[in-house]
Amino acid sequence: MKILAIDPGYERIGIAIIEKPEKEKEVLLYSDCFKTPATLPFSERLSLIGQEISRVISKFTPTVLAIETLFFAKNQKTALGVAEARGVITYEAARHNLNVHEYTPLQVKMAIAGHGRGDKTDILRMLPKLITITKKVRHDDEYDAIAVGLTCSASQNYYKQSKTSTTRKN
């Protein structure tokens, strides 16, 4: 299974491609922090996001999009912009026939740190234990995308295992 994992935004978007080989630890194939220039009109920034997501999908051919749900902060203008960027990202995923899975920040913290009160330090400490990373990850947005992708991989593996064990009991 190959997962396109996204930490959404409109100024900076964390992007990761994670592969889960059978019976092996996940491998990071690609990660980046895609940035859009603040000097451009918002509609052009959204267009650039769509183009980049389409490029990454075409290059790596994932079958799943894992994306973090929107966490409403105090700044509603920022939240609305991120929501629009998420719309572009999920549109591109649908256009390329990817299954879309959304995860809350709490779900990501639970999956990676083992508890919902995990902070950045807990996540950063756990990631190298959970996934093979052979490149230098430069931005927090990349780490956040990797964590979302691992959450998806873990939930998909759990779903497969529970479905298999339910089938065996029958």
Q: What are 43-58's pLDDT values in tens digits?
A: 999 999 999 999 999 9
68 is annotated as an active-site residue: yes
7 is annotated as an active-site residue: yes
pLDDT at 147: 95
Active-site residue identified among 68, 92, 142, 144: 68
> Stretch 126-154: mean pLDDT, rounded?
91
pLDDT at 162: 45
DSSP 27-46: EEEEEEEEE--TTS-HHHHH
Residue whose token pair is 């630890």 = 25
User: Quick one: 2-169 is in which CATH superfamily?
Assistant: Ribonuclease H-like superfamily/Ribonuclease H (3.30.420.10)
pLDDT at 116: 75
pLDDT digits (tens, 9 = 90+) for 104-125: 989 999 999 888 777 888 888 8
Where are the extended beta strands (E) located within the chain? 2-7, 12-19, 26-35, 64-68, 99-103, 131-132
- pLDDT > 70? residue 166: no
Which stretch of DSSP H or E encloses residue 66? Answer: strand 64-68
What are 103's two structure tokens? 């995860």
* pTM to 2 decimal places: 0.87
Active-site residue identified among 19, 26, 52, 141: 141
140 is annotated as an active-site residue: no
Mean pLDDT of all residues in the chain? 87
